[in-house]
Amino acid sequence: MILEGSIRLPFSYAAGVVGSRFLVALRDEQVILGGRCSDCGTVSCPARSMCPECGTHVDDLVEVGPGGTVEAWTEMPGKPAFGLIRLDGADTALIHHLLSGEGKWQPNTRVTARFAPERVGDINDIEGFEEERGAS
Ligand SMILES: [Zn+2]
């Protein structure tokens, strides 16, 4: 027996100081920031207030990307593809839309961020990632 339904789940998320700086840099400068841990040196992206490796509070932000490599992806015909993108300078991968054609992704494909023409301070200020020109 299967019951079908849907749940609407509105929420608010406090981005905090580090997350807010990340979002403001996307919106105002089209720059992607990672958080560098002062203890272990891990650079996480998106920048977060706690190091994902050791739990140390992070307050040092560094520019990463906008280029990077696709580590993994998922796609279904007719649906947007999603990828885990490790941006240049980052030690963690960011999940986001892959904008180029279906069925062509390979491990380590070089991609670069495409920013939205109008940005609001949201992760979708990056429209997604597209294959770098000149890459094959
Ligand atoms: Zn750390």
Q: What is the pLDDT of residues 57-85, one digit of tens each?
A: 999 999 999 999 999 999 888 888 999 99
Say how many Å lie between the first and final Cα of the chain, rounded. 48
Which pTM was predicted? 0.87
Confidence tier at 135 by pLDDT (50, 70, 90): low
Cα 59 to ligand 1 centroid, rounded to whole Å:
11
Ranges 3-12, 62-71, 95-104, 107-116: which has the least confidence: 95-104
Q: Which two tokens stand for residue 30?
A: 């089209």
Cα 32 to ligand 1 centroid, rounded to whole Å:
19
Structural domain boundaries enclosing 80: 16-131
Cα 19 to ligand 1 centroid, rounded to whole Å:
17
Cα 36 to ligand 1 centroid, rounded to whole Å:
8
Q: Does residue 113 lie in a domain region?
A: yes
Taking only the tens place, the pLDDT of each residue in 40-54 is 999 999 998 999 999
Q: Does residue 10 lie in a domain region?
A: no
Counted domains in the chain: 1
Cα 86 to ligand 1 centroid, rounded to whole Å:
17
Q: Does residue 1 lie in a domain region?
A: no
For the chain, helix, strand, coil in percent to 5 are 10, 35, 55
Q: Does residue 84 lie in a domain region?
A: yes
Confidence tier at 101 by pLDDT (50, 70, 90): low
